[in-house]
Amino acid sequence: MAQQRALPQSKETLLQSYNKRLKDDVKSIMDNFTEIIKTAKIEDETQVSRATQGEQDNYEMHVRAANIVRAGESLMKLVSDLKQFLILNDFPSVNEAIDQRRQQLRALREECDRKLVALRDEVSIDLYELEEEYYSSSSSLCEANDLPLCEAYWRLDPDTDSADCPSAPLLASPEPSAGGPLQAAAPAHSHTSGPGPTEHT
Amino acid sequence: MATYSLANERLRALEDIEREIGAILQNAGSRYDDERGTVILELSKEKTNERLLDRQAAAFTASVQHVEAELSAQIRYLTQVATGQPHEGSSYSSRKDCQMALKRVDYARLKLSEVARTCEQMLEN
């Protein structure tokens, strides 16, 4: 068995008090129970009348039963204190609980990031197709001025604010191989994209 | 959650001890699944069954000694592992990383909902 380590005086004293409480409560339960059983014995010869002796035995049994209950409640309190002490000072368990929690959180974070990367890949494919469609469509050919992509989009809806560039779906750096007469204006579009500077981090 | 096995194992053992103490007090000598009455009740009868009485008294004593042994073992274990110092471990960093990942997911969901709404408007127009 490992040698007794030098605990701080308070912890050592506390654990010794737990031991003492345990011994005292168990002894109280056993002694009072034994005395109740002894008192149940009916004696033929008594110093007082039988009625008086009966009353005395009845009172004594009540007191001893109450002592058993008090000792039991004291044991319950001791178990509660031990639970609290265990939660605070059982370092192996606490370390394991912390490690498991970290692993769970790390796994969740990695799953979120993995799904976001997959989503990014899917959206980039769709975005490429949309850009292809836009730059090869007639709406992009009809513009006389070099408009930003967002402004060209919002021209279709006169009620919206054309000064802002909202998070339009076609905002990405266009492919250099995409055809169309506005190819020279395309690089200017990529820097006027929407409100998400941290989108592609 | 079944993952915190080591941490919960001793707490479960202490809860079992609590239940056993309650059973000891409630039945005062008989086992909790014994429907034949308590020791004191058996003593109060006109004609007592001595063998039953002996068996129940022995069971009561065994339960009390079992509780004492278990609690002594727990106190002995705590004497070995307790250091008197507070535990300074934390899972805060992992939790914060996970929160940021969830924030990223929420942001991506928000942006995709805006795109979907914009596409629907385009189709309606």
The DSSP result for B58-101, as a single string, is HHHHHHHHHHHHHHHHHHHHHHHH--SS------HHHHHHHHHH
Percent of chain A with pLDDT over 90: 41
Mean per-residue pLDDT for A195-199? Answer: 40
Residues of A in contact with B102 (CB under 8 A): 112
Choose the weakest-confidence range: A45-49, A130-134, B85-89, B112-116. Answer: A45-49
Interface residue of A61, A101, A110, A149 to substitute, partner B, most B CBs within 10 Å: A101
Q: Across all residues in chain A, what is the average pLDDT?
A: 75
Q: Quick check: B90 contacting A, CB < 8 Å?
A: yes
**Do B84 and A26 make contact, defined as CB atoms within 8 angstroms?**
no
Comparing C-alpha atoms, which of A122, A128, A114 is closest to residue B112? A122
Q: What is the pLDDT of residues A45-74, one digit of tens each?
A: 778 888 898 899 999 999 999 999 999 999
Residues of B in contact with A85 (CB under 8 A): 78, 82
Nearest to A69 among B25, B83, B84 (CB): B25
Q: How far is A89 from chain B (nearest CA, A)?
A: 5
Alpha-carbon span A174 to A180, nearest angstrom? 12
pLDDT at A178: 42
Alpha-carbon span B44 to B42, nearest angstrom? 5
- pLDDT confidence bin for A153, thresholds 50/70/90: low
- pLDDT confidence bin for B36, thresholds 50/70/90: very low
Mean per-residue pLDDT for A74-97? Answer: 92
**Do A196 and B111 make contact, defined as CB atoms within 8 angstroms?**
yes
Mean per-residue pLDDT for B61-82? Answer: 93
Q: Quick check: B84 contacting A, CB < 8 Å?
A: yes
* A to B CB pairs, distance under 8 Å: 163
Q: Quick check: B24 contacting A, CB < 8 Å?
A: yes
pLDDT at A141: 55
Q: Is the pTM above the cut of 0.80?
A: no
Q: Quick check: A20 contacting B, CB < 8 Å?
A: no
- pLDDT confidence bin for A154, thresholds 50/70/90: low
Helices (H), chain A: 9-39, 50-89, 91-136, 138-141, 149-154, 186-190
Residues of B in contact with A2 (CB under 8 A): 80
Model confidence at A199: pLDDT above 70 = no
Reported ipTM: 0.75
Model confidence at A179: pLDDT above 70 = no
Contact between A194 and A150 under an 8 Å Cβ cutoff? The reply is yes
> Any idea which residue has 């809860």 for tokens?
B15
pLDDT at A140: 56
Q: Quick check: A87 contacting B, CB < 8 Å?
A: yes
- Position with higher pLDDT, A44 vs A193: A44
Residues of A in contact with B79 (CB under 8 A): 4, 7, 15
